């Protein structure tokens, strides 16, 4: 309860600072909290908005699906094969850290404008944390657990399904949580450059037209959705790490 009250105070402080910034910088730079909120409500109520939102979440959904499945499969394989893991880890780390925004011309040249480019952009952002954390999750499983699976003569599929996946679930979920956040980022970046539909496209168009309230309303909506989803996933993540 106390935390909720504190959240309210925090939100109030943010709004006050925002309003003061608005007074200092003027309306050609930022929009006031009230104008932004009004614009956001107008936007949600407008006819075109939900089509763009659906376009974003369609691409985001595919990208998450590919990034998570690919990341877990690759992470499991590497985790079970120590030599491969040792060879691959620095390579994956390097790929994880490159500024992927510079690859947007390459992605466009390979995939063309449209949904596949957006999905590809989402996947290259999200797949590496899933892969890394799954790999480390499997590698750090207590040896006794894996020996037990062998002593029970479980088949490879049974071992993965009933022993390895449950035992490394907290780490895998942490990877998925970070992966989902980065996939959203990647999908939105893809839309900024490579699309004529979606929320990223709306954002760039608003910024291009110097439509400050529109830009800030979109930022507010995206940040709210991302923060709520992030908080939800974080709560599950903590639960998983706690119960073990």
Contacting positions for another protein (CB under 8 A): 2-3, 6-7, 10, 25, 28-30, 83, 86-87, 90-91, 93-94, 97-99, 101-106, 109-110, 180-182, 184-185, 188-189, 192, 200, 203, 207, 212, 215-216, 218-219, 222-223, 226-231, 233-234
- 137-228-184-126 Cα dihedral, nearest 10 degrees: 0
Q: Among residues 37 and 226, whose Cβ is nearest to another protein?
A: 226
Closest approach, Cβ 74 to another protein, in A, equals 15
Identify the three-state secondary structure at position 46: coil
In the complex with another protein, the residue whose CB is nearer, 116 or 230, is 230
Element (H, E) at 188: helix 169-194
Q: How far is the CB of 157 from another protein (least distance, A)?
A: 28
Nearest distance from residue 26's CB to another protein, in Å? 9
Q: How many helices (H) and strands (E) does the chain have?
A: 12, 0
Tell me the C-alpha distance between 27 and 213, whole Å. 9
| Residue 156 CB partners (closer than 8 Å, separation 6+) | none
Q: Within 13 Å and on the Cβ side, how many CA atoms surround 163?
A: 21
CA distance 206 to 49: 13
How far the first Cα of the chain sits from its last, in Å, is: 27
* Nearer to another protein (CB atom), residue 10 or residue 50: 10
CB of 137 or CB of 213, closer to another protein: 213
Q: What CA–CA distance (Å, rounded) separates 129 from 107? A: 20
What minimum distance in Å lies between the beta carbon of 119 and another protein?
A: 17
Of 154 and 219, which CB lies nearer to another protein in the complex structure?
219
- Rounded least distance, CB 43 to another protein, Å: 15
In the complex, least distance from residue 96 CB atom to another protein, rounded to whole angstroms: 9
DSSP string across 205-216: HHHHTT-HHHHH
**37/185 with CB nearer another protein:** 185
Residue keyed to tokens 């037209």? 209
């Amino acid at each position: 309860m106390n935390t909720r009250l504190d959240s309210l105070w925090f939100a109030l402080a943010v709004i006050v600072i925002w309003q003061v910034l608005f007074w200092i910088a003027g309306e050609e730079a930022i929009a006031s909290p009230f104008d932004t909120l009004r614009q956001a409500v107008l936007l949600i109520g407008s006819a075109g908005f939900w089509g763009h939102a659906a376009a974003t979440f369609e691409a985001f959904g595919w990208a998450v699906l590919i990034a998570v499945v690919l990341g877990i499969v690759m992470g499991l394989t590497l985790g079970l094969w120590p030599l491969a893991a040792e060879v691959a880890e620095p390579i994956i780390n390097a790929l994880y850290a490159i500024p992927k925004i510079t690859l947007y011309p390459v992605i466009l040249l390979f995939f063309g404008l449209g949904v596949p480019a957006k999905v590809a952009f989402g996947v290259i952002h999200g797949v590496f944390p899933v892969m890394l954390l799954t790999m480390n999750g499997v590698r750090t499983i207590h040896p006794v657990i894996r020996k037990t699976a062998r002593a029970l003569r479980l088949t490879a599929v049974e071992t993965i399904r009933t022993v390895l996946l449950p035992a490394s679930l907290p780490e895998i979920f942490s990877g998925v949580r970070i992966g989902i956040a980065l996939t959203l980022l990647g999908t939105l970046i893809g839309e900024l450059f490579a699309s004529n539909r979606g929320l990223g496209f709306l954002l760039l168009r608003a910024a291009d037209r110097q439509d400050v309230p529109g830009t800030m309303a979109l930022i507010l909506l995206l940040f709210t959705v991302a923060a709520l989803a992030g908080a939800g996933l974080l709560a599950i993540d903590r639960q998983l790490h706690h119960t073990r």
